[in-house]
Amino acid sequence: MSKPTIDFADGNGLIESREMTDTEYAEWLETKKKIEDDYAIQAEKVAARKAVLEKLGLTEEEMAALLG
């Protein structure tokens, strides 16, 4: 299975586009997990906020106005 592609560039454009090395791949997997964990946490917050708004019968704008 091929590894993901990593690009290198500067102001003049693309310098190199290649498959990640084993080290880069390991780092990317770690970062990917952080991103997905962040996504899950954020999604939970969004869902919780939505539930509270529904419970209160308020829109986002109305809540924002209430909170000043």
* Chain positions contacting other proteins, by CB under 8 A: 4-15, 17, 20, 24, 28, 31-32, 34-36, 38-39, 41-43, 46
| Cα of 56 vs its chain's centroid, Å | 29
Query: Shortest Cβ distance from residue 13 to other proteins (Å)?
Result: 5
**CA pair distance 16, 66, nearest whole angstrom:** 52
Q: Which is nearer to other proteins, 5 or 57 (CB)?
A: 5
Nearer Cβ to other proteins (47/52)? 47
Identify which of 1, 2, 6 has the alpha carbon closest to the alpha carbon of residue 28: 6
